[in-house]
Structure 1
Amino acid sequence: MTPPPRVRPQRAPQRRRSRARTIVPLAIAAWAVLEIWLLIVVAGATSGLTVFLLIIGGMVLGASAVKRAGRSAWRNLTAQVQAAQAQAGQRPEDTTPPAAGTGRNGLAMLGGLLLIIPGFISDAVGLLLLLPPTRKLIGKALDRLTSRALAARPAAPADPGSVGDLFQQARDANEQFRIHRPDGKVIQGEVVDRD
């Protein structure tokens, strides 16, 4: 008797790695090396204590900027919720809408976070994001980029469903997985009632 022919398992074709997954880690590594080199150069030109004090000052300034941006975002959110409730008739008192030009809290918070990160390049970018004129210019550029990206994107379905629908779909998918699992507790079959 001859043994059955050996069947080799088929391998799934390898997916190519995207450019972003290749470029982003390299860019982060280059940025970190550049930051360290710049810290060494500044420490050599001045002193290590000066660099240390600059880093600590940047962290303190960044923390206060993040705190301020967070408070401003919270005030805007509560004002918008109160205005929406007043429009819906749930709360009759007069509310004031948020002031114009306060929608750049995310950029201010990002600037504060960049100041917290040790390094002079991140501090320079963080300071640019904290200054109102440059924050406004960067915000407008980001708005244009996102509007172009959304215009080029195909339309999404009108109603994706509620969060409860998503949880129900996840439960259904989990049950289907359990049914088709060989060691699952659910046994497929037919129920026969003999009466």
Structure 2
Amino acid sequence: MTTRRRRLSWVLVLLFLVMPLAELFVLIQVGQVIGVWWTILLLVADSIFGAWLMRREGARAWNALTTALSSGKLPSNEIADGALIVLGGALMLSPGFVSDVFGIVLILPFTRPIFRRVLSTVVQKRIVVSAMPSGFGPATQRPRNDDIVTGEVIDKDEPA
């Protein structure tokens, strides 16, 4: 198993096993401290705030993207901001305080540049790895001798 697959396996374990357990633990702890109804109200208010924040920052990111495109600038930061806002919004959709905190941190305009740098580093590594020849696949295939046909092109409209 490659290092990349092992890392992906751990990320999936974290996402599908540890995160729900952490969400349940935090929900139970908050519910015991402030009560069930206040916890539910806090989750609803948190979702409303997240939706408002995502809408506001999404509109700003869209305006920045259209401005960059119209000026002929490569919109790499704007695209990264849009991706982070969408990811933050997806985290805000899942119920729980832990994912909401991560979602809000991804959406906030003053914390997003940190994650933009992380995202651009990951994307740059992926581009370098995918651009390197691996010895397998279409990028390194050479034409076989039976794929090459030698011949002469004859144009019928041109007099001989």
TM-score (norm 2): 0.62
Q: Does 1:53 align with 2:41?
A: yes
Contact 1:79 1:98 in 2 (8 A): no
Are 1:144 and 2:121 an aligned pair? yes
CA shift at 1:69, angstroms? 3.4
Partner amino acid, structure 1, of 2:33: A
Identity of aligned residues (%): 27
Gap runs ≥5 in structure 1:
1-17, 85-96, 159-195
Q: Which residues of 2 match residues 80-159 of structure 1 at below 5 A?
A: 80=68, 82-83=70-71, 102=78, 103-155=80-132
Task: State how 1:1-195 maps to structure 2 within 5 Å.
Answer: 19=6, 20=8, 24=12, 27-80=15-68, 82-83=70-71, 102=78, 103-155=80-132
Offset of 1:81 from its aligned partner?
5.1
Separation (CA, whole Å) in 2 of partners of 1:33 and 1:27: 10
Cα deviations by residue, 1:110-144 (Å, 9 ceiling, x for unpaired): 22332232111111112221333321111112211
Specify the code of the residue in structure 2 equivalent to 1:62.
G
Deviates most, 123-132 or 31-40: 123-132
Change (3 A) 1:131 1:68: closer
Q: Distance in 1 between matches of 2:46 and 2:39?
A: 11
- Aligned CA distance change for structure 1 residues 144 and 122 (closer, same or farther; 3 Å): same
Q: Distance in 1 between matches of 2:12 and 2:74?
A: 37
8 Å CA contact 2:85–2:106 kept in 1: the answer is yes
**How many residues were matched structurally?**
129
Q: How big is the shift at 1:62?
A: 1.7
Higher relative contact order structure (alpha carbons within 8 Å, sequence separation ≥ 6): 2
Name the CA shift for 1:120/1:100 in 2 (closer, same or farther; >3 Å). same
- Distance in 1 (alpha carbons) for counterparts of 2:52 and 2:100: 14
- SS for the counterpart of 2:44 is helix
Bigger helix share: 2
8 Å Cα contact 2:47-2:93 kept in structure 1 = yes
Letter in 1 for 2:121: R
Q: What is the alpha-carbon distance in structure 2 between the residues aligned to residue 70 and residue 127 of structure 1?
A: 13
Q: Measure the CA separation in 2 of the matches of 1:123 and 1:30.
A: 15
Query: Structure 2 regions of 5+ residues with no counterpart?
Result: 140-160
Counterpart contact for 2:57–2:107, Cα < 8 Å: no
